[in-house]
Amino acid sequence: MPLKRLLGHARAAWEVPRDLLLRRYPPFVTGGALPRGDVPVFVFHSLEPVSFERKLRHIADNGYVTLSAEEYFRILVGVGQVPDKAVVLTFDDGRGSVHGVGGPLLRRYGMKGIVFLVPERVAEGGERGPTWDDVQAGRVRPEAVLGREANGGAFLNWAEVAALANSGVFEFESHSLTHARVHIAPHLAGFVTPDLRRGYAALDLPLVRDGNADLMGEEVPLGTPILRSESRLSESARFFEDPAIRADCIALVRDLGEEGFFLRPDWAARLRQLVARRRIVGALEERSDREAAQARELRESKRRIEERTGRPVIHLCYPWHVSGPTARRLAREAGYRTAFAGKVPGTPITRVGGDPLQIARIGEDYVELLPGRGREELGTVLQRKWSRRLHGRP
């Protein structure tokens, strides 16, 4: 296993014990109780039917109820009654399995969820893909659903969004317009490979300026150098590199076989040699340009989802849970009433009266640690989580 990948697994393995020591998880994660009035918010990304149904069954068997974004918001600000044993299920990015797996299983268990959608990543196609109901009825093979996110259907299309919104199973809120990263410094971090342009991996590729336009994910030429980057909604100014630094790298990959180039054992060394021949130069954006770009990410996402669903969008989730003071101010000005994050320092769980613009969430792995019959042990959950990561699954 490559050293870089091994180090990544080591960091992931240490993350949970570290956060447990720092008390960044609610007490129920380590076998404690869930006090009345506490409402855990869980975050999902891609959905696998067996695992997802097991989690929903645990919630259902133990009498938990799922809340909408509005119900949860009213509780936070103290104007709504807190149901006994309530949870919130959130789904980031609007991935294809939300339709194929999430919709059928949530309907089956009478539950609801909140999808944080990235409008610029939603396809215009009008055909709805098959679902797990189709698989279980024998109409399609499992691969038609399970393989969707790896074969060009990584994200929902607008027809699926409309159907799910009308069903009442999901509501659609904002995850910013493009879920973009931007270069922030002239420090080489890697190169664009075929795998980085496919599916939801493309969300992690920084925007690349091409003339007056930005290329996203799958549009970025193979071999393009990736520099140090941050979320577009961070406080960091964007660095616009001189496009000449890309030209030789892109040409080398094109001349030596495009995707086939990356089968060479020395592909990374060849590209690094090209970059090392010249100094990476460029310019930082102006503060006013950064603010304008962030405002568009927040306002245009809200407008497009409202236009497509016919429902107000007042809830936000920051990509990578990153936001600077400017983005937080712009979110309030755009009309968002909540903002969902990840782990929030000093706030294992957001309670009544807590900050609705900094809502703490925990990962889907911990659903089965909720108190009740069939409750898992933390060790079992972590073993399953680490095994999944070791095999390259999200």
**Structural domain includes residue 288:** no
How many CB atoms are closer than 10 A to CB 105? Answer: 20
Same-domain pairing of 298 and 149? yes
How many domains would you assign to the chain?
2
> Residue 83 carries which DSSP code?
-
* Contact indicator for 205, 217 with CB cutoff of 8 Å: yes
The verdict on residue 79 lying in a domain is: yes
| DSSP, residue by residue, 103-129 | HHHHHHHT--EEEEE-GGGSB---PPP
Based on the domain organization, do 315 and 374 belong to the same domain? yes
In a domain, 218, yes or no: yes
- Tokens 């577009």 belong to residue: 232
For 341, the enclosing helix (H) or strand (E) is none
Q: Where are the beta strands (DSSP E) in the chain?
A: 41-44, 65-66, 86-93, 113-117, 170-174, 181-191, 208-210, 213-215, 225-231, 239-241, 282-284, 315-317, 338-340, 362-363
For the entire predicted model, the pTM comes to 0.93
Could you tell me the residue range of the domain that residue 330 belongs to? 3-177+294-390
Residues 96 and 212 in one domain: no
Residue 1 is predicted with a pLDDT of 42
Q: In terms of domains, do 133 and 21 share one?
A: yes
Structural domain ending residue among the three candidates 279, 306, 338 = 279
Distance of alpha carbon 273 from alpha carbon 281, whole angstroms = 17
Q: Does residue 349 belong to any structural domain of this protein?
A: yes
Same domain, 216 and 152: no
Q: Are residues 74 and 154 in the same domain?
A: yes
Q: What angle do CA 205, 206, 210 make, to 5 degrees?
A: 115
Q: Which two tokens stand for residue 52?
A: 């997802």
What's the mean per-residue pLDDT of the chain?
92
Q: Please write the tens of the pLDDT for every residue from 292-320.
A: 999 999 999 999 999 999 999 999 999 99
pLDDT per residue as tens digits for the range 7-46 = 454 555 567 777 777 678 899 999 999 999 999 999 999 9
pLDDT reported for residue 13: 56
Q: Quick one: residue 335, left, alpha or beta (phi over 0 = left, psi -120 to 50 = alpha)?
A: left
367 vs 89: CA distance, rounded Å: 10
Domain co-membership, 197 together with 172: no
Residue among 216, 206, 214, 203 nearest 95 (CA): 203
